[in-house]
Amino acid sequence: MAPTWTDFRTLLAGERLPAAVVDLDALDRNVDRIRGALEGTGKRLRVGSKSVRHVGLLRRILERGGPAFRGIMGFTAEECAFLANEGFDDLLVAYPTVQPLALEALARAAAAGRTVWAMADSLAHLEAIGQAGRAAGVELRAVAELDVSYRRAGGHVHLGVRRSPLREPGQVLELARAAARIDGVRLAGLMAYEAHIAGFPDKSPFSPAMNRVSRTLKRISIPDVARLRAAAVELLAREGFALELVNGGGTGSVQSTAAEACVTEVTVGSGFVCSHIFDYFESIDCEPAAFFALEACRVSDPGFVTCHGGGYVASGTPSWEKLPLPWLPAGLTYLPNEGAGEVQTPLKLPAGAPPIHLGDPVIFRHAKAGELAERFTEYLLVREGRVVGREPTYRGQGQCFL
């Protein structure tokens, strides 16, 4: 049963506010749901650390997921090196870099026996990876990223995120041939992230007019992405390039990505804690597991309450959906001229709202899963309505990767 506002008030009595809370029972149920969606597909699941940023939760997710959950997709090379030092293995860096210090850290992890993968979409990336590999006396695995965004009219129409310049199987093959000529690196994998399928809401209350467009785009794009990804894998295989992994997907495309024969693994991150943007997907069945609490610090007028802090606005296109969602008590709404503020967040109470006293916690959900961890040094871990642990986020461990 989802915790009520009364439950949170009891739970947080005496705690410093603001505080971040993770419901481990809900987390476990989300892991079970996602594992169930992969059953019978033969695919592995790679955990997207960007949406977690907490060593303790990463360990719990992998342990709960069992044999089908293997490896982590990190967002920087330094982060993956840090996770290697924390005991994790099979670490895929999702974004390329040519920074020597970052790649040297990744190469040291490989030299220590960890399996690491560096992303590449250009000759410059391969050369930088190869140089780091040679200096460490190892051959680093590179993963080519194929862009599978929805593109028409010669690129004038581009729906999805702008990631790799590799948009045709032949371009991936040329990169593989280039890698074969560089010591210290070899092309060992392919990644194709269908962000316009996995990351676009299709039942959003913030932009209802776009929901039908989003659903139509997904319906059209799913077979196109599958054909393009399969064509790249087949072309590489014909030319003698055997791939150890073919990665795709995200929380919003688990089922469609896992249905592709050429895919070996699907990445999931946000679905484990279910930040509020992921309430607005038809294909997702997960429950809120991460929250933050602000102190009710003043009442400016009857029918209003002001919270201390709260300006934890998510990255991406500016819009109301990127603000934290006032969650409990139910029905609280922002003031359109203030929104979520750095030092104060005023809210309007709905009719019939329970009285909120000064010092009470007001509960919010972040729009994006991992970004909450950048605002707190620790998460309060809750099981069966009790705080059972306090564990540091990346920030709490003194880490700041981006």
CATH number at residue 42: 3.20.20.10
Q: What's the domain range around 296?
A: 290-397
- What residues contact 398, with CB distance under 8 A and at least 6 apart? none
- Is residue 60 domain-shared with residue 139, that is, in the same domain? yes
CB-side exposure of 160: number of CA atoms within 13 Å? 27
- Three-state DSSP at 20 gives strand
DSSP state, 338? T
Percentage helix, strand, coil, to 5, in the chain? 35, 25, 40
Q: Kindly report whether the global pTM for this prediction surpasses the value 0.85.
A: yes
pLDDT at 280: 87
27: number of Cβ within 10 Å: 25
The Cα 227–Cα 246 span in angstroms is 14
The Cα 131–Cα 104 span in angstroms is 9
- Is residue 37 domain-shared with residue 143, that is, in the same domain? yes
Q: Indicate the helix (H) or strand (E) that contains 60.
A: helix 55-65
| Domain-terminating residue out of 221, 243, 273 | 273
The Cα 283–Cα 150 span in angstroms is 20
pLDDT at 107: 98
DSSP state, 350? P
In a domain, 132, yes or no: yes
The Cα 1–Cα 184 span in angstroms is 53
- Is residue 179 domain-shared with residue 327, that is, in the same domain? no
In a domain, 217, yes or no: yes
- Is residue 240 domain-shared with residue 148, that is, in the same domain? yes
pLDDT at 76: 98
Q: Nearest to residue 196, comparing CAs of 167, 169, 219, 165?
A: 219
Report angle CA 209, 290, 63 to the nearest 5 degrees.
Answer: 115
Cβ atoms of 382 and 375 closer than 8 Å? no
CATH number at residue 380: 2.40.37.20
In a domain, 339, yes or no: yes
DSSP-derived secondary structure for 203-223: S-SS-GGGHHHHHHHHHHHHH
- Is residue 295 domain-shared with residue 265, that is, in the same domain? no
Domain count, the chain: 2
Inter-CA distances, 219 with 34, 156, 214, Å: 21, 21, 9
- Is residue 56 domain-shared with residue 170, that is, in the same domain? yes
Using 70 as the pLDDT threshold, list the residues of the chain that sit under it. Answer: 153
CB-side exposure of 248: number of CA atoms within 13 Å? 29
pLDDT at 48: 98
The Cα 366–Cα 196 span in angstroms is 21
Alpha carbon distance, N-terminus to C-terminus of the chain: 36
DSSP state, 260? -
Category of 344 on φ-ψ map: left (φ > 0), alpha (ψ -120 to 50) or beta: beta
- Is residue 304 domain-shared with residue 193, that is, in the same domain? no
Q: Nearest to residue 271, comparing CAs of 11, 35, 17, 21?
A: 35
Instruction: Locate the DSSP E strands across 122-268.
Output: 140-145, 150-152, 157-159, 185-192, 245-248, 265-268
